[in-house]
Structure 1
Amino acid sequence: MTESFWQKFKNSFYAYSDLNLMLDISHMTISENFFSQMAPQMEKIYAQIDLLEKGAIANPDENRRVGHYWLRNPELAPDMEIAQAIQENIENIKVFTQQIHSGKIRPENGGIFKNILLIGVGGSCLGPQFVSEALGTNKDQMVLYFIDNTDPDGMDQIFTRLEPELDSTLCIVISKSGGTLETRNGMLEAKNRYHIKSLDFSKHAVSITQVGSKLYQTSQSERWLRSFPMWDWVGGRTSVLSAVGLVGLALQGIDIDSLLAGARLCDEKTRGVITSQNPASLLALMWYKATEGKGGKQMVMLPYKDRLVLFSKYLQQLIMESLGKEKDLEGRIVHQGLAVFGNKGSTDQHSYVQQLLEGSDNFFVTFIEVLRDRVQLSPILADNSTSGDYLQASLLGTRAALTMKGRESITITISDVTPFSIGMLISLFERAVSIYALLVNVNAYHQPAVEMGKTCTGEAITLKNCVLAFLRAHRNQKFTVEELVEQLDCPNTEELIFKLLVHLRSNPDHSVKLKKHENIFDDQYYVE
């Protein structure tokens, strides 16, 4: 007898009451024996996860342990020194927060700190941004701002907002190595702004970095207000529940204990070896089924809640940086990865759902449903429905339309957006990424290709400085791109030098001038 859809739904719907979490995989195409076929592999993975949490080397390329699970349960740490460091750090964050909020630590001109400017990039910023946006209210004790790029105009927008209250703004600079270019530039831009206002940056500054790093040394020598640690065993994309996220979020007024509790309880649940009782295992297995273990598919995240609009952006780094790998653990070329994109419901219904329904079937969707619409009662609008009723109907309608077109989807349902539920979601996806990485045999905890981009960035800056030095040494002499390549004896750099010069002459900072010609490639550049 063919299984009815209702029966399939009941067999593929999982409720975890202690997490206030529900997971629906009934809109995925799963064979009857899929889970039994995967059981032997999952048994091995559970053993590997256990070793990872106990402190085994889980990142062999860099010979590192992976311990973000210890951040919310220090008792799991493999030695007392790590456990004590975690506990002391959380306590120090709470004490520092109380001192700032009470005015015991004050800005140099008196009063109290009202704003926080967090400067970081990637994992040092995406996590805190997501959580801050998800949990922020008009009753927050401090307002959190972010600089997460080296875009001058973007920084100007933030500084323009902060300028009237820069003297009451606390600046948190986050970089694990202390040498990240974007973060260093943001810090130096901030220092300049404080200097212009005759303010001592060090009396407004906090560092979060590894002990001994360049940033740590700077913060110590300049006597910044505080320095909080980052540890070798916590990667940037899994660092939001370390000082990276907790300092700014605690200062904002978010209940970090509840945030950690949600992650801790989800860790316990997803540590289980019975797959049906482990929501992260089910998620990872659905990713594996959708991609046939080969990667390359797109994961479309559709959170139906404005507060979760940055969740997709946060997951882009967590998932794509963890799983996008050229080689597996045996060194074989595999080109694994899951491309993540998403907006929010029901905005998505009026943008790219058209392509999801009628374009290439190269994706699967994950809906995030939040049951609680708002704190107060909602007015009844048209059709005897509230705006929240329409939001849920939009989710159900989009999902139904996808199913009618044979497109697969997963639905995650939470009761409300709270510190506990956000901590739970962070843990859920961190664990799912770990499990999927083991399923496809890649190292989820390193990112070698990112270093390639950093190296090429440095080379571009070096070449730009060579061009500038040559033009300044030959003032008022005009050179084409090709002439500069010949003079500098740097073959095969024509395109790069052309791009550098077009940018240089578009900005007054380096005084590069242009003599235009009919053909743009005959243009000549010079410094007066």
Structure 2
Amino acid sequence: MTSQWQKFREYFYFDNELGIQVDVSRSGFPDTYLDDMEIRLQDMYCQIQALEQGAVANPDEQRMVGHYWLSDPELAPQPEIGAAIKDTLRRILYFAQDVHAGTICGQKGRPFRNVIIVGIGGSSLGPRFVSEALGNKGDPCSLYFIDNTDPDGMDRIFAELDAKADATLTIVISKSGGTVETRNGMEEVRHFYVSRGLDFSRHAVSITQPGSRLDQIRIKEDWLDAFPVWEWVGGRTSVLSAVGLLPLALQGIDICGLLDGAKKCNSLTRNTDTKSNPAALTALAWYVLTGGKGGQQMVILPYKDRLELFPKYLQQLIMESLGKEKDLDGNIVHQGITVLGNKGTSDQHSYIQQLLDGPSNFFVTFIEVLKDRDGDSILIAEESTSGDYLQAFLLGTRNALSNKGRKSITLTVRDLSPVTIGVLIALYERTVSMYAQLVHVNAYHQPAVEMAKKGAQEMIQLKNLALRVLRACKTGGLTVEEIALEIEADGSVVDREMLYKILKHLEANRGNRIISQKSGSEFEALYQVASDQQ
């Protein structure tokens, strides 16, 4: 029987130049697994190569998927694409330089030292992860993310920036230019500036597709500048486009280092010798751990505070890419890997108990960073530093899981730098592409997301119909059922439960002027528009 040490040596991947190691020896590879999968792996490599060469990867939208070109424009299938990537990077660097120098400044002449990023999903998760991973005290600009249409969340940011509004730049990011949550955030930020006597357009930059609705607004209002995001860049793989590079450059992060790390990692992951390809090894581990059928949970445990947002970033990248009802042939497969995570050693005091003793419906990915800190560490106890203990908890937890028969993957990096973070981004982007090919799903469309957006719009329409009924009511109020019947008189079909939820929300926010009077049960309450005397 093969020992763990033998498995470790056989499947261990390392690259000394980039300081990255991938250990899949505890993922349960059968002894003949690589040989058994070789034909499928070579087909996968061909499919990935075609993807990079510009094949249509998203038939729903008839578009290419080219995030690989962002770090290596020379690989773009058309010279104008490569030229656009280079030109955008050059403009980003010059724009950030001018902001830092005060050449581009706020309406009242104060240099920009704060940046609000208005975006959602990939327009926030990637930049926010990198910002937290590489940011330091003394960065030339501080970033604030509005990534939800939550008024209270926005108010917290506005309160912090209250006295700094004229020194605050806003970047509005929406690839389509019509994302509702981003539109809402933009209008809230506009009000923030206007209420302080400032012109929003003098503080605003857009990142969107040329010609989009957002781009048209930007042109009409004459914003400070605009940067493109191209139709071949998906939101969850957009962090190395202007979406991530502009805010990160403004923060003061070395974006050229990020791109260099991604470029070098992409070069490594083109290797068709599987044992020499860290992404292929990781994708194979996912495949054996899920049986190629998904349905498992992937627990991401980064043992580094700076990587606390890495699981959230991977959650979108993996779940939106792989969570699919149908495969490429139209068969119902319900593929997907559920991603969750918490930083070590916090996990020791939260859910390691269940991972060890609960159901075995998961596998763990440990993220290890070898360098503890800049400078030397003091000895705490047992001739060990706090960093020694951090690694000890990681290794101890990994062994404890193995002893319980629970599987894991370990990804190790030498340190956290722009190059290393670029490597991590590219490694997981490639792994997702490869796993998707192995399970025969399209990683680059997301039809269910559009369903949810349509459902939200239907709720807004129902709210407006309810308000119309209540404003026309001349009696002492209407019950949920009576409001529903009034709406249905025009031929609509009303979901009573949704209507009830909407009415309770309207009542909780005084600006709507909706009040209720209890009469018997909760569902017999009478709703009406408050009079001026109420």
Normalising by the smaller structure, the TM-score range is over 0.9
Which residues of 2 match residues 50-65 of structure 1 at below 5 A?
A: 50-65=49-64
Equivalent residue letter for 1:251: L
Secondary structure of 2:170's partner?
Answer: strand
Secondary structure of the residue that 1:520 maps to in structure 2? Answer: strand
- Runs of 4+ with deviation above 2 angstroms: 2-5
Aligned to 1:393: 392
Aligned 1:228-239 pairs, distance under 5 A: 228-239=227-238
| SS in structure 2 of the partner of residue 233 of structure 1 | coil
**Percentage identity across paired residues of the two chains:** 57
Question: Aligned AA for 1:447?
Answer: Q
Aligned: 1:35 with 2:34: yes
Say which SS state the counterpart of residue 18 (structure 1) adopts: coil
In structure 2, stretches of 5+ residues that fail to align are none
The corresponding residue for 1:328 is 327
Q: Counterpart amino acid of 1:503?
A: H
Once residues 432 and 26 of structure 1 are traced to their aligned partners in structure 2, the CA distance between those partners, rounded to angstroms, is 17
Taking structure 2 as the reference length, the TM-score comes to 0.98
Offset, 1:475: 4.6
- Cα deviation for residue 483 of structure 1 reads 0.5
Distance 2:11 2:229 in 1: 40
For residue 132 of structure 1, what is the amino acid of its counterpart? S
1:399-414 matches, cutoff 5 A? 399-414=398-413
Q: How does 1:138-153 map to 2 (within 5 A)?
A: 138-153=137-152
> How far off is 1:13 after superposition?
1.4
In structure 1, the residue matched to 2:216 is: 217
Distance 2:405 2:130 in 1: 34
Q: Contact conserved, 1:325 with 1:442, CA < 8 A, in 2?
A: yes
1:201 maps to which residue? 200
- Partner residue, 2:515: 513
**Alpha-carbon distance between aligned partners in 1 of 2:170 and 2:244, rounded to the nearest angstrom:** 14
**Structure 2 residue aligned with 1:373:** 372
Distance 1:109 1:37 in 2: 67
- In 2, the alpha carbon distance for the partners of 1:8 and 1:176 equals 45
Conserved 8 A contact 2:476-2:526: no
Residue of structure 2 equivalent to 1:130? 129
Counterparts of 1:87-486 in structure 2, within 5 Å, are: 87-475=86-474, 477-486=476-485
Please give the secondary structure, in 2, of the residue aligned with 1:407: coil
SS for the counterpart of 1:478 is coil
Distance 1:159 1:12 in 2: 51
Q: How far apart, in 2, do the equivalents of 1:141 and 1:105 lie?
A: 14
Q: Which residue of 2 aligns with 1:497?
A: 499
CA contact (8 A) 2:326 2:441 kept: yes
Equivalent residues of 1:123, 1:236 under 8 A apart: yes
Task: Name the structure 2 match of 1:524.
Answer: 526
Match in the other structure for 1:25: 24
The size of the alignment, in residue pairs, is 527
Distance of 1:370 and 1:24 partners within structure 2 = 14
- Residue deviations 1:445-498 (CA, integer Å, cap 9, x gap): 000000000000000001100110111122554000001111111444111110
Secondary structure at the counterpart of residue 412 of structure 2: strand
The alignment's C-alpha RMSD in Å is 0.8
Give SS of 2:17's match: helix
Post-superposition shift, 1:8?
Answer: 2.0
Deviation per CA, 1:267-322: give whole Å up to 9, x if none: 00001111011000000000000000000000000000000000000000000000
What residue identity is the alignment partner of 1:326?
E
Q: SS of the counterpart of 2:7?
A: helix
**Which range moves more in the overlay, 260-269 or 473-482?**
473-482
For structure 1, the 5+ residue unaligned runs are none
Contact 1:22 1:412 in 2 (8 A): yes
Amino acid at match of 1:161: E
TM-score by length of 1: 0.99
Give how far 1:132 is off.
0.2
Aligned 8 A contact 1:475 1:526 in 2: no
Q: Letter of the 1:98 partner, please give it.
A: Q
